[in-house]
Amino acid sequence: MIALEEHFAIPHTLDDSEQYANTAGASTVTAWSELRAKLLDLDAGRLAEMDAHGIERAILSINSPGIQGIPDTSTAIDVARRANDVLADAIARHPTRFSGFAALPMQDPDAAAAELTRSMRDLGFKGALVNGFSQLGPAHAVVYYDDPRYASFWSVAEQLGAPFYLHPRDPLASREPIYDGHPWLLGPVWAFAMETAIHALRLMASGLFDRHPRLTIILGHLGEGLPYNIWRVDHRLRKASRGMPARRPLTDYLRENVYLTTSGNFRTPTLMDAIAEVGVDRILFSVDYPFERTVDAVTWFKDLVLTDADRSAIAAENSAALFGFAPPPPEVTARQAF
């Protein structure tokens, strides 16, 4: 199995994740201590977790909001480079088990393009994972990546053949008062999906994929609700597009330019809907470790009623094809007991 929404942290980004520690059945201090240790571990503990559940390779990425939550551009550039170097060192120690997604300082599109190029050409990374919008300048100012300033960045990403994982982050409280007084709706409960789905729709509607038809975006959590809602989106746009730049129905881009992962969404009807909308060849197994338990993801996946071909495709073959990995040898597939 290959998993590709699997996170780590460096000291500069670590505290961003404290609010997402799972306190069910544990004290806040204990829960954060355990999550902290797992985020920082890029060696024995993480490998033991993978071994216990038949995960042969993990593509690792920085925790959220990570670089995107650093309003100062020069600091964002420096921390992104340091995070990528830490990850590159871990991959060098475990080259058959770990791969990497680049952290990018999207606050500066040229610097982001340069870091993506360095990460793929020099460090051997497999693309980038970016945690939603970037804060820029004043702490309440944000930028989304359909902004025209990213035209050259997207050209570089397409030329490099770099998949771009659009990962969630919480909206800023100053910009989204709808969550006021309802903190239980923030994070992975609801706000993550809504924020990321809207960002993905902005990219699709902007005409990005008309300009860059070979560009690939990845969305986690079985598409952040988009497979379930995309028909109605296009249905209403056919009635009134309001000058939308995209030349095709947004469903076309979802099916042709977007991959979906199972990260943190271990629900069979949701998976079946995603397969129906985008096809089984666009679904990639993932866990969302360490924010989700590997055992939950793997147990759910192995109990699914799927054909052997579909199970193998989602577990590893689709990812191997997308990222250029050699397919696992027969003895590995047998050991995973699909």
Residue numbers annotated as active site: 288
Cis peptide before 290 (omega within 30 of 0): yes
Give the Cα separation of 175 and 166 in Å (integer).
20
Output 290-294 pairs: Cβ under 8 A, ≥24 positions apart.
290/7, 290/35, 290/38, 290/39, 291/7, 291/17, 291/20, 291/22, 291/35, 291/188, 291/264, 292/263, 292/264, 294/49, 294/50, 294/52, 294/53, 294/55
Distance (Å, whole) CA 56 – CA 61: 17
Contact assessment for residue 204 and residue 145, using Cβ atoms and an 8 Å cutoff: no
Give the integer Cα–Cα distance in Å for 292 and 310. 23
